[in-house]
Amino acid sequence: MLLISCPNCGSRDETEFHYGGQAHVAYPENPNELNDREWAEFLFYRDNTKGAFAERWLHSTGCRQWFNMLRDTVTYDIQAVYPMGAARPDKSAPAPESGTASTAPDSTTTGTAAPSIAATSTATSTAPASATAPEGATK
């Protein structure tokens, strides 16, 4: 049983929560321009990370609020709990590398769509790096 620290209610049992899948999957900017494969990838294809994984959770029998959580899929170690719309905490370093397009969304956390598009684009591009990173990051 995981003990999850809800940002509103504090530490509670895992049974009080619902899992919301991978976080930072942005709705496509122009869904009509996607072909079937891209649309299917948006709908159904998710990372299967070994190591630190950003996911959404809902405290369904508590405050009924969504939040993001960074969890290690191997050790189940909860590394961070952060609000919806915020950038992934351990991805703050690679964001500036990808140029001006991603630094702007990072500075404005109000728009939910724009930052997460940048987050996923950097996440997919740095996916191989993140697969190896957790070992160094956790130690």
Partner 1 sequence: MAKTAALTGVNGLRDIRRSPASHLAEALDAGSVRGQVVLNEGPFQTMAGVRVDPRSEGGSRIAAVTGGLPVRCGEVTGTDSISVLWLGPSEFLVVAPEAAHDSLGGTLIGSLVEALGDAPGQVVDLSANRTTFELSGPQARAVLEKGCALDLHPRSFTPGTALNTEVGNIPVVLEKTGEESFRLFPRASFADFLGRWLLDAMREYGSPEVP
Which parts of this chain interact with partner 1 (CB under 8 A)?
8-10, 12-13, 15-16, 61-65
What DSSP character marks residue 28?
A: P
Q: Is the Cβ of residue 59 or residue 91 nearer to partner 1 in the bound state?
A: 59
Min CB(17)–partner 1 separation in Å: 11
Tokens representing residue 123 in the block: 């996440």
The Cα 120–Cα 24 span in angstroms is 6
Min CB(64)–partner 1 separation in Å: 5
Min CB(102)–partner 1 separation in Å: 30
CA distances (Å), origin 10, targets 19, 54, 76, 92 = 17, 19, 18, 25
Residue 118: phi, psi to the nearest 5? -65, -35
Q: Is the Cβ of residue 34 or residue 63 nearer to partner 1 in the bound state?
A: 63
Q: Is the Cβ of residue 1 or residue 93 nearer to partner 1 in the bound state?
A: 1
